Amino acid sequence: MNKQKDKYIPALNQNWLTPLYDPLIKWRMREEISKRYLVERSGRS
């Protein structure tokens, strides 16, 4: 058996949720807005 695969834990222990995780986080966290805000706060453009 592949040891790396044995350590993998799918999203909420449900394999079918794994493909939805990244798009959901991207939508919910609004990554582009967050990064823009951080750059503005740092004083660099």
CB 1 within 8 A of CB 8: no
Q: Is the pLDDT of residue 36 over 60?
A: yes
Res 34: pLDDT: 83
Res 24: pLDDT: 83
Res 26: pLDDT: 79
Reported pTM:
0.38
Q: How far apart are CA 28 and CA 10, in angstroms?
A: 19
10 backbone dihedrals φ, ψ, rounded to 5°? -70, 165
